[in-house]
Each structure stands twice: as C-alpha cells, then as structure tokens.
Amino acid sequence: MKDIKQAIYQTLRDDAVLQGMLGYSVEDPRIYYFYPPEEVELSDAKPAYITYYELMTPPPYLEREEELYCIDIWGREMGLNEDIFERVDALLNRKSLMFTNHHHLVTLRELKRDLFEADRGIYHKVIHYRVVSIPKE
C-alpha cells in the first residue's frame, strides 16, 4: 500500500539522529526503496544505508490491511548497524505512523537478524515489521 510505503520512508528520512548515522544529504538520503542506486558506496562520510520493501500484502477479503515490510541496514561496522537498528526500532516499533487514507492500528517488529557478507565486507541487519491499518471510509 502506497500509504505505508510513504509513511515508513518519511519517518526514517526525517529523523535527524538517523540522518547523522547514515551520512544523509538532500541529494542522497541513504534510504532506498528495494535497491540502492548502483553508484552507492560505503565510506567514512557515508558509513551505512537502508533499503526497505514489502514482503507481503493483505488478501483482498480482509477488512483490515496488514503488510509485512523488510528493512535492511547495510554498513561497514556491526556496532553502527546495531545503533541504527535501535533508532529505526524506536521510530517504528509500536509507534504511530501518519497515513492519508488509513487509520494506523499498530506496527510490530517480528524479526531481527544479523548477517555478514564476507565477500563484500558488509554487515547486513534484516528487520521485519508488520503494519496493521484499516481504510478510512
């Protein structure tokens, strides 16, 4: 649902603490839907980035809408990834999101997993959030 996608993006993008952790700039907010652009790299000034996307959308017969979103944190340092996770979780888990066409009921973290991509030397944290809402009438 476009409402959830936009709410997650705005919540993460507009947080000053998260901006500092990621190396945010207006030209490169370091938060990308699905995949980062090919030219995105990790550096001292831009040590991490976030990708996010839907894993599951609701069946059409439900009166409520539940979507499962994956948020991935990619970085060169495990400790920084954990700090970014804590900030993302503080912004999303059991918090209200602002929707245009839906009433937000709850956002719950369902999974947190740490991975290491040895061939690239990148720490990768995977987080799943279930977002439940009902359409406004």
The domain that contains 102 carries what CATH number?
3.30.2000.10
Tens place of pLDDT for every residue, the chain, 137 residues? Answer: 577 888 899 999 999 999 999 999 999 999 999 999 999 999 999 999 999 999 977 666 666 678 899 999 999 999 999 999 999 999 999 988 877 777 777 899 999 999 999 999 999 999 999 988 887 77
Contact 73, 48 (CB under 8 A): yes
What is the span of the domain harbouring residue 22?
A: 2-135
Q: Is 62 left (phi over 0), alpha (psi -120 to 50) or beta?
A: beta
Q: Count how many domains the chain has.
A: 1
> Residue 98's pLDDT is what?
78
| pTM summary value | 0.90
Alpha carbon distance 75, 31 (integer Å)? 13
> Residue 130's pLDDT is what?
92
Alpha carbon distance 1, 122 (integer Å)? 30
Query: What SS3 state is found at 92?
Result: helix
> Residue 96's pLDDT is what?
81
